[in-house]
Amino acid sequence: MTAEAEKGTLLNFKDVLIVVDQALVQDLLRAVTPMDADVGNGFHVRIDQADTAFGDGVALVRMSGTARVDDAPVGAEVTVFGAIDAVQIDPRSGVLRCGISILGVEAQDAKALGRNDPVGRLTEALAHGGLSLLLDGLEIPVRVEDRLSIPAVASKRLQIGAEDLPLTVSAQQIKVFGGKLWVFIDVSLAPHPSVAGETS
């Protein structure tokens, strides 16, 4: 990214660029806290707080809460570090969906989670499906449609059916800097069968 910036091609998007502020993603995550789930390897995690920091290529998502083993009465305060590493366009709705991967886990009192590298086991559990049990889906409130719709006309003198210009859309890449997530979208007009209209 530094090399691209030095070449002046940091934002060489072709068609559409969607820029999302870290504060919005943080607010979205906070809106659904607390989150809790059995994340695997016998761990139960409850997230009470979420923060985001988007910079230098990493869309960092920091989720804080507690983890405990099975039905243990006492747990440990944990912070789960994740990163938005992909953004895809949902093929049905066109809404942008974030993919989040695990960077690591920090525990204040790891001993409360058992023996034999409990933090490592918790990290492994989250990385192997546990995170999606804890946070199942994160949408960005932007919809990229696969058509441009021209509405119908239905008046006394004029009847024209609605028409769609089909589009091919795809999320090409993301970049992260300056507190923002930058999503590059390619959009192209697809060939379509023509529809006749009539007016009087």
Partner 1 sequence: MTPASRCAAALIASMLAGCAASRDRDTAARIETLKASYSELHQRFERAADKEPLVASAFADRGEVILAIRSGLIEELVGNVAASYLDRVTVDLKEFGAHANGKMHKKTFLGRVTVGKWNLSVDLGSMAGHLRAGQPQVSLRPPNLLDVDLPVGIEEAHGDATLHFEWDSSGVANVVCNDFKSTLAIEGRVLPQQHRLKGAFELGNTGESLTAAPMFPERRLLLRLDLSPSSWAKVKEALGSQDTLGKCGMFMDADDGLARLRDLAANGISVRLPDSIFRTVHLPARLQESVMVNKRPVGLGLTAESLRIDTATLWSSVSVQVQTRPKP
Interface residues for partner 1 in 99-118 (CB under 8 A)? 103-107, 110
119 binds partner 1 (CB under 8 A): yes
83 binds partner 1 (CB under 8 A): yes
Instruction: Supply 89's token pair.
Output: 């366009």
* CB closer to partner 1, 68 vs 100: 100
Instruction: Supply 132's token pair.
Output: 């999606």
Q: Which of 49, 172, 189, 190 binds partner 1 (CB under 8 A)?
A: 189
Go through 132-153 and write b for each residue having 16 or more CB atoms within 10 A of its CB, e for each that does not: ebbbeebebebebeeeeeeeee
86 binds partner 1 (CB under 8 A): no
Measured between alpha carbons, how far is 199 from 158 in angstroms, rounded to an integer? 5
158 binds partner 1 (CB under 8 A): yes
**Residues 115 and 74 sit within 8 Å (Cβ to Cβ):** no
SS3 5: helix
190 binds partner 1 (CB under 8 A): no
125 binds partner 1 (CB under 8 A): no
* CB closer to partner 1, 21 vs 72: 21
* CB closer to partner 1, 23 vs 74: 23
177 binds partner 1 (CB under 8 A): yes
Q: Is the peptide bond before 34 cis (omega within 30 degrees of 0)?
A: yes
Only one of the segments 38-46, 68-76, 134-142 lies at the binding site for partner 1 (rule: CB under 8 A); that segment is 134-142
Residues 61-80, interacting with partner 1 (CB under 8 A): none
What are φ and ψ of residue 132, in 5° steps? -75, -20
122 binds partner 1 (CB under 8 A): no
Query: Least distance in Å: CB of 140 to partner 1?
Result: 7
Q: Please report the DSSP string for 19-64 in residue order.
A: EEEHHHHHHHHHHT-SEEEEEETTEEEEEEEEEEEEETTEEEEEEE
46 binds partner 1 (CB under 8 A): no
Q: Which of 109, 136, 161, 168 binds partner 1 (CB under 8 A)?
A: 136
